[in-house]
Structure 1
Amino acid sequence: MFSYMDRPIFIINAKNYNEGSGDRLARFIEYAVSASQDFKVNVLVAPPIVDLYYYARQHPEVLISQAVDTVGYGSSTGHIPLMRLIDMGLEYSLINHSENRVDHMLIKDINLAAEEHGFKLIVCIQSINELEELISLGVKPYAYAFEPPELIGTGRSVSKYAGESLRKAVDLCSGEGVRCLCGAGITDVEDVELSMEYGVDGILVASGVVKADNPLKKIVQFSHIMSDYYSK
């Protein structure tokens, strides 16, 4: 297993897209493994939850859960236990995505539990106000991911259409010693280049890769750009 420390992060969120479900997800896992080895980038795939265990048996090092809960093993239904993800070999999880919002106090509790086990939480935020509120609660996860919901899935990227807010998010995260990622509408090389110029530590992409005509080409292009910027 190779080390991903101090690398930019490239998250491919397969959501519940048909193109990234079941056996169709296998190629994205293979691409992530290859790109992580060929470039100085930590490429992670967020499979549909129902597919997570199957692929974790093969390549947990390139997987990130789409969500996580504070519940442990025991009497709970429909939740994703943190310890189960850890036992599967995962090191990362998203939380509070715009399509799966979580109460801020619960985020704080989950982050504290994650920190105790060296598990890396990436907290999605919709706005600067939300980021400031979480910071005021003392939530310092492994990373925050700035994703304005109005841009998700539109092809209108955060770096082009919410640049000033992105810059502020980067500055706030930097002041707290927390990584800042960005997502929403990222579809092409220019989107990635602009994002890196704002100083982000990584990107989240969903349909821009999963639904692309040539996903491998996109993954290689984006990884190459991120690796080059991080090496400057």
Structure 2
Amino acid sequence: MTIHKNKLIAGNWKMNGSLAANAALVEALKQGVGEPACDVALCVPAPYLAQVQSLVAGSPLALGAQDVSAQAQGAYTGEQSSAMLKDFGVRYAIVGHSERRQYHGETDATVSAKTAAALSNGITPIVCVGETLAEREAGQTEEVVKRQLAAVIHVNGHCISEIVVAYEPVWAIGTGKTATPAQAQSVHALLRAQLHHAASEHAAGIRILYGGSMNAANAAELLAQPDINGGLIGGASLKAPDFLQIIAAAR
């Protein structure tokens, strides 16, 4: 098991992009990124995986997918298997994003199975956990995130050290609201303790990203917290100057 000392900044383009816009964005990132002190990934819509694989070749930018099927192959129209993603040089796959849970009915069991599918082909799953505003206001944050992560640990315990966790408070995604550094750190510390219980010798090396409206203005303060090992970046990852500023803050 490799201890991941570098932070990870992963851009999630969500359902945005075009051939022309992608080429311009990746070119600007390549021009500005230099030799980053952190790992960087671009998680792009499935139709653009081949284009972006070509665009990032030879650069420090790794390719990521936004989802992966829990199935290996077969009659699953519209799905992409981890083997297919591997064919395109995909290194990371977002699993269980709150939008998938909310709009596509993904359960903790589904997320756990997708995590296993990614790991089976050497793709690093970025496993998302987080509470809604109603859950936070009801004092259920700890219960919710621990339940979500416990399901993944239960199915993937033997290789849990190979995952990345992303804490994304649902109330802070795309809303402009951000957890304070102290709020985010407290949940990250909770998740770290849970990982320590599952994989004591490796827990310190498992990266836990913050994914709730991290932007160029707040990234440095969030990334300075002891248990925040990077960011899962939505809107700001579509603007090269902002994304580059976040990358520069991840030291």
TM-score tier after normalising by the smaller chain length = 0.7 to 0.9
Kept in 1: contact 2:6–2:39 (CA 8 A): yes
Q: Does 1:156 align with 2:180?
A: no
Q: Which stretch of structure 1 is more off in the superposition, 54-63 or 78-87?
A: 54-63
| 1:172 aligned partner | 194
- Which of 42, 45, 48 matches 2:45? 48
Distance 2:149 2:225 in 1: 21
1:59 Cα deviation from its structure 2 partner = 2.4
The aligned runs of 1:1-232 (5 Å cut-off) are: 6-17=5-16, 20-34=17-31, 37-59=34-56, 62-101=62-101, 102-127=106-131, 128-129=145-146, 130-139=148-157, 140=160, 141-160=162-181, 162-163=183-184, 164-173=186-195, 176=199, 177=203, 178-210=206-238, 215-227=239-251
Kept in 1: contact 2:7–2:207 (CA 8 A): no
Q: Could you list the per-position Cα deviations for residues 17-40 of structure 1 after superposition, in whole angstroms to 9, with x for gaps in the alignment? A: 3xx333212233234445554211
Q: Which stretch of structure 1 is more off in the superposition, 25-34 or 198-207?
A: 25-34
User: How many residue pairs align between the two structures?
Assistant: 217
Q: Which secondary structure does the structure 1 equivalent of 2:52 belong to? A: helix
Q: Compared with structure 1, are the counterparts of its residues 151 and 79 closer, same or farther at alpha carbon in structure 2 (3 Å cutoff)? A: same
Q: Which amino acid aligns with 2:51?
A: Y
Kept in 1: contact 2:13–2:43 (CA 8 A): yes
Q: Compared with structure 1, are the counterparts of its residues 136 and 159 closer, same or farther at alpha carbon in structure 2 (3 Å cutoff)? A: farther
Q: Which amino acid aligns with 1:145?
A: A
Query: RMSD of aligned C-alpha atoms?
Result: 2.5
Q: Compared with structure 1, are the counterparts of its residues 168 and 27 closer, same or farther at alpha carbon in structure 2 (3 Å cutoff)? A: farther
Q: Compared with structure 1, are the counterparts of its residues 150 and 77 closer, same or farther at alpha carbon in structure 2 (3 Å cutoff)? A: same
Kept in 2: contact 1:69–1:80 (CA 8 A): yes
Kept in 2: contact 1:32–1:44 (CA 8 A): no
Q: Compared with structure 1, are the counterparts of its residues 204 and 192 closer, same or farther at alpha carbon in structure 2 (3 Å cutoff)? A: farther
Distance 1:44 1:31 in 2: 15
1:192 Cα deviation from its structure 2 partner = 3.5
Kept in 2: contact 1:124–1:144 (CA 8 A): yes
Q: Which secondary structure does the structure 2 equivalent of 1:69 belong to? A: coil
TM, length-normalised to structure 2: 0.75
1:78 Cα deviation from its structure 2 partner = 0.7
Distance 2:190 2:39 in 1: 24
Q: Which stretch of structure 1 is more off in the superposition, 39-48 or 53-62?
A: 53-62
Q: Which secondary structure does the structure 2 equivalent of 1:44 belong to? A: strand
TM, length-normalised to structure 1: 0.80
Q: Compared with structure 1, are the counterparts of its residues 180 and 69 closer, same or farther at alpha carbon in structure 2 (3 Å cutoff)? A: same
Q: Which secondary structure does the structure 1 equivalent of 2:65 belong to? A: coil
Higher relative contact order (CA 8 A, sep 6+): 2
Q: Which secondary structure does the structure 1 equivalent of 2:166 belong to? A: strand
Kept in 1: contact 2:173–2:212 (CA 8 A): yes
1:13 Cα deviation from its structure 2 partner = 1.0
Distance 1:135 1:186 in 2: 26
